[in-house]
Chain A
Amino acid sequence: MTTDVAVEMITVVIDGFEVTVPKGTLIIRAAEKLGIQIPRFCDHPLLAPAGACRQCLVDVEINGRAFPKPQASCTIPVEPNMIVKTQLTSPVAEKAQQGMMELLLINHPLDCPVCDKGGECPLQNQAMSTGRSESRFTGVKRTFEKPINISSQVLLDRERCVLCARCTRFSEQIAGDPFITLNERGALQQVGIYEKDPFNSYFSGNTVQICPVGALTGASYRFRARPFDLVSTPSACEHCASGCALRTDVRRGKTLRRLAGDDASVNEEWNCDKGRWAFKYLSSKERVTSPLVRGEDGELHEASWPEAITRVAAGLAGKRAGVLVGGRVTVEDAYGYAKFARVTLGTNDIDFRSRPHTDEEATFLASTAIDLKTTYLDIDKADHVVLVNFEPEDESPIVFLRVYKQVRKRDLNVTTVAPFASRGSQKLNANIVSTFDDVKNLTEKSVVLVGERAAEVPGLLSAIAATKSAKIAWIPRRSGERGALEAGALGNILPGGRPVTDAAARIDVQSAWGVESLPAEAGRSSAEILTSLNTAGGLEAVVIGGVDPVDISADALGQLLNSFVVSLEISHSAVTAIADVVLPVAAVTEKAGTFLDWEGRERSFDQAIDGTLTRSDVRILSMIADEMQKPILLPSVTAAAKELLSLGKWDGAKVAKPSLPSSKQTPVSGNQAVLTSWRQLIDLGSLQAGEENLAATARPAVAVISAKRAEGLNVSNGDLLKVSNERGSVVVPAQIADISDEKVWLPRNSQGSQTIVAFGAAEGCLVSVVKA
């Protein structure tokens, strides 16, 4: 809001230097602008001031009148005619700071050599810069049992804690999860959880990162490394489309830690626990380490790259083949798949959507989503945020933090089109409506955030596409989807949003690629690619890049049998088990690349691990294309990035917007209910494999039903419910909420509730709900 208004500037003098800063700037920040570092612990630029640690005391004078005592520079905003003297120019401030440091250390254990924070510890560093050379304390230090688990993934060493309250303030002010708090008083004050109620916030890892001492540590990293042995690489998160900047810390070729990176316009300084801790899959024993070729005996055997590539080329030659790209590819890799499908395989049968999808959605993506330019900043300035089939806390957590920030700051109006008020919606104080038609008060400053699940409601994306009075954003769950869309890894568009049915658009691409012609008919979708396999005149082969086909359809694996399947994968999976050739590809830390976040903003990253033998998908596709003598000429990530850039965006006519009417839900009766679901942030997703500490903080699976249905079934919260259809069933505890009497909600892919596996569907199908 403030960005549109001229900000009043104030000039103050700090240590004899003038600095001009916006009104409201705290002294400690103004000093930073001059390069004057005032020591601090509780101060954090994104948290409300606490003034608790008292380390940042400085002498302040206003209009010639000096404060009688040194003041905490983290709590006082600058004022005109203010003169500040920090430890650099005021002996009083210097002594106050030294005294404070001495006091902070009297109860702090001297266990730096075994502390995770040692070497990157603000207490250690500032004790060196601001402390006395030796302590005068000869008494008895306060001790606690150590450490205690405040969740399965966060450990607390109370002895080390300086009680700055950063963690508790973060949890309350940023995440909206006040699950930790300060208990007791005096020197026995300590951070604690509610009895038997662990710190299971999706954002808990941030507290470990902002802890200025080694009091909070991550279970997965504890005692694993010394900071000075780590090599850090700025990176981008592969888990969702939020676009977090990350830092990947590697020691001797192994990723040991990931931290939230700073990007004020995207993730500020935060990330979610999945982005922070779900990286064990990178070094899993399940990684595919060499090409595998299925032999005469029906088993996979290790093969050389030339042998495997030859086998792929031979298998694909002369066959009608489709490409399943998956939603986690980089833009460069997606571009490789897009070009490979068109040039080498001669088909538009390519789709990045490994999730429930429709033709209406493909039309929406090619006509509307590809042009969307809504950003995080629009959320900051919005007068109304509407969430459409989108649960940001589960599906794009940094979007959640951003909306929550405005809700907290200025009571931002939030409406959500959702079956019931999830915990995230409750925190956003969102107004719940059941359909998009019920959303009122949209203005040009309103922001409509559309989730990928909008595709699951016929007519919804058509209605969204027709909306004129608000800023629209399409927020897929996976990190690669927006990039894959731009790269043309979809059946109805070529790179840059060029419609495949538009001759001029094809000519554009043909000349850039140096090919005679490109297929002119829109290709099959993911589900259609699978169902056309083994049918007369249908597809005979499929190239699968990092897709779990069960995400598309419960029958996918059966459909893949008896076709020629090429799998480009990082780890062994259900697909590699039946594939004819398996080609190992590089995981994110092993390659460079770019994701486009939901805004369309480029999130480029470098290789974090040097010297690996794995290659990016685009490089492998290029080798196959060469072998098939229909080259795509993309030998490297850089080559792909350059070529995509030079192609540019299509400025001609777009695919027409979708115009599907909405359909009425058929009424249900008796124990019948309409299934609705979404994926929770922490669930059985394949990239979370191997990280048990994270998995233990997942929200347990429940079946959400209305009070009326609960009464009819004579169940209360926690009683087991059996939800089933003709394919299968799940049995989970009931949770009564404000959901429609006709619906039942289940987590889509959680322990104990995988809806596509159980019911063959994720949304909208009829199930029966009975007491188990």
Chain B
Amino acid sequence: MSKLKPVLSANWDDADSFTLEGYRRNGGYKASKTALNMDPDAVIQLIKDSGLRGRGGAGFPTGMKWGFIPQNDGKDHYLVVNADESEPGTCKDMPLLMANPHSLIEGIIIGSYAIRANYAFIYLRGEVVHVFRRVQQAIEDAYAAGLLGKNVNGKGFDLELVLHAGAGAYICGEETALLDSLEGFRGQPRLRPPFPAIAGLYARPTVVNNVESIASVPAIIGNGVEWFQAMGTEKSKGFTLYSLSGHVKNPGQFEAPLGITLREILEMAGGMREGHTLKFWTPGGSSTPMFTQEHLDVPLDYEGVGAAGSMLGTKALQIFDETTCVVRAVLRWTEFYKHESCGKCTPCREGTWWLVQALKELEAGRGTSADLDKLLDIVDNIAGRSFCALADGAASPIVSSMKYFREEYQRHLDLGSCPFDPIASTLFSGARA
């Protein structure tokens, strides 16, 4: 029996899965009706009970986040959906929004109702124009159907939903930078406290949730807490989307209960690229320390991955086979972090600038083993010293690759050049000759 548990992705194969009609045909917008007949506090409690944890990377319990919003404070509350998916390797929110945007909209209706928000925002990564158009159409359709706007579903609850396109910055996936950007400022993380639950968007109590977290809510309301809790592991309940990419036969999104292993997912994906073996992989995007062959059976839930020395993150499983130069891969990632550093704090701004130069030298085989120690020391001065977690993410691939592949770094230095043929790791490698 397949280990998959398609919920959000159950109907992605339908030709009209993204339409209001298609969503409704498969039972859509029933959960929001149920929820709007409940007491808002009961909705929060239900989500708390379900054990749903944030799917954006940190795994914070969603219901608890909702519960932090002070009630009866006379202030506007806001629900903001973080759809700024930009973690390298992560490709779950965008396909979800392409194929099933109404699950998010329905989740927003429920979440906004629960936290007593009459305004909700989707902060969508600006580069994905096709997704923007699709979500925009879905919102229009929802308005036309009376699911958004004044008096949602005739229940006396008003909800305005705004879709906002980001301008292309990784840092805007950090929730406070996202809020600054949404307010029209440059996206840079804010000093906390105050936390968004107290003073978020426009200094009002705000919940910021990942797309997948919110989109999972209707299914939980519809099927019940027990159904949800039956999936997953002790502290990591439910189903989730794993994005598999890289040197595998069939990359894509795999929706499965938390706690599945890479070995199992790889099997379903048809295994590694023909004739190649797994060398290293990331459990949750480039910001999570990399794993190797020996971690194939680590349960991919929050605790399992944590215990093995990494983080579940966005569940972006990037797979690299033995043709890949780990130094080169790490350099590419580091260039990404340098490019995306917002510049606010010293370690991230200056550190990523330096790391790229240092890694370029190493990849070209220039340096000595003292330079490897220096690299680790620079990283030590960056990780855990920065304003937000971006720099920690930048440090992860370097530290973890040095942990598992230090001899490969050393081989570059011994040879005076990279021992790998970069073309061998590409898709078109077979086309040569």
Q: Name A residues whose Cβ lies closer than 8 Å to a Cβ of B.
A: 49-55, 57, 68-70, 75, 95-96, 98-100, 102-104, 106-107, 136-137, 139-140, 142, 162-163, 181-182, 184-189
- The smallest C-beta distance from A284 to any residue of chain B, in angstroms, reads 44
| Known contacts A103-B350, A139-B358: A187-B341 contact under CB 8 Å | yes
Q: Is the CB of A139 within 8 A of B349?
A: no
B339, B343, B358, most chain A CB atoms within 10 A: B343
Task: Tell which of A51, A68, A137 touches B384, judged by Cβ atoms closer than 8 Å.
Answer: A68
A-chain residues with CB within 8 Å of residue B384 when the two chains form the complex: 68-70
In the bound assembly, the distance between CA atoms of A433 and B62 in angstroms comes to 52
Docked-complex contact A186 and B342, CB < 8 angstroms? yes
A residues in contact with B405, CB < 8 Å: none
Complexed CA–CA distance, A50 and B357 (Å)? 28
Given contacts A51-B387, A57-B385, A186-B343, contact A163 B349 (CB under 8 A): yes
A interface, over-half SS? loop
Contact check, B346 vs A49: say whether CB atoms are below 8 A apart: no
Q: Flag if B345 contacts A51 (CB, 8 Å).
A: yes
Partner among B342, B344, B354 whose Cβ is within 8 Å of the Cβ of A103? B354
B118 at the interface (CB under 8 A from A): no
Task: Report B214 CB to chain A, min CB distance, Å.
Answer: 28
Q: A70-B385, A99-B385 are in contact. Are A52 and B353 (CB under 8 A)?
A: no
Across-interface contacts of A55 in B (CB, < 8 A): 346
Chain A nearest CB: distance from B267 CB in Å?
Answer: 37
Taking a contact as CB atoms under 8 Å apart, the answer to whether A189 and B349 are in contact is yes
Q: When chains A and B are docked, how far (Å) is the Cα of A104 from the Cα of B381?
A: 12
The residues of B that contact A189 with a CB separation of less than 8 Å are 342-344, 349
Q: Which residues of B contact A (CB under 8 A)?
A: 169, 171, 186, 191, 338-347, 349-354, 357-358, 361, 374, 377-378, 380-382, 384-387
CB distance from B194 to the nearest CB of A (A): 12
B191 touches A49 (CB 8 A): yes
A299 to B300, CA, bound (A): 99
Is B169 a contact partner of A185 (Cβ separation < 8 A)?
A: yes
Beta-carbon contact of A106 and B339 below 8 Å: no
Chain B residues lying within 8 Å of A140, measured Cβ to Cβ, are 357
Since A52-B344, A140-B357, A186-B341 are in contact, a sample of 14 more A-B pairs with Cβ atoms closer than 8 Å, ordered by chain A residue number, is A51-B345, A95-B381, A103-B346, A103-B381, A106-B354, A139-B358, A182-B186, A185-B342, A186-B342, A186-B343, A186-B353, A187-B341, A187-B350, A189-B343
Most buried by B among A54, A55, A181: A54
A54 close to B343 (CB less than 8 A): no
Q: Which residue of A lies closest to B360 (CB)?
A: A139
B343 touches A188 (CB 8 A): yes
Contact of B346 among A70, A75, A162, A185 (CB under 8 A): A162
In the complex, A139 Cα to B374 Cα: how many Å?
A: 14
Q: Establish whether residues A107 and B353, one from each chain, have CB atoms under 8 Å apart when the complex forms.
A: yes
A136 to B345, CA, bound (A): 20
User: Which residues from chain B contact A103 at a C-beta distance below 8 Å?
Assistant: 346-347, 350-351, 354, 381-382
Which chain A positions have C-beta within 8 A of B361?
139
**Residue numbers in A under 8 Å from B338 (CB-CB):** 186-187
Contact B381 A100 (CB under 8 A): yes
Contacting B354 at CB < 8 Å: which of A51, A100, A139, A162? A139
Residues on the B chain within 8 Å of A70, using CB: 384-385
Cross-chain contact of B191 among A50, A99, A139 (Cβ < 8 A) = A50
Q: Considering the chains assembled together, what is the distance between the CA atoms of A142 and B343 in angstroms?
A: 13
Across the interface, do A104 and B353 meet the contact criterion of CB distance under 8 Å?
A: no
CB contacts (< 8 Å) of A106 on chain B: these are 350, 353-354
Q: Which residues in A have their C-beta under 8 angstroms from that of B353?
A: 106-107, 142, 186-187
Give the residue name and chain of the A residue nearest to B186 (CB). Answer: A182
CB distance from A765 to the nearest CB of B (A): 46
CB neighbours (8 Å) of A162 from chain B are: 346
Contact between A96 and B350, CB atoms less than 8 A apart: no
CA distance A704 to B59 in the complex (A): 59
Name A186's contact: one of B191, B349, B358, B382 (CB within 8 Å): B349
Pair A187/B343 contact, Cβ less than 8 Å: yes
Q: How far is the CB of B323 from the nearest CB of chain A, in Å?
A: 29
The reply to whether B385 and A54 form a contact with Cβ atoms under 8 Å apart is yes
| CA–CA, A182 and B387, complex, Å | 17
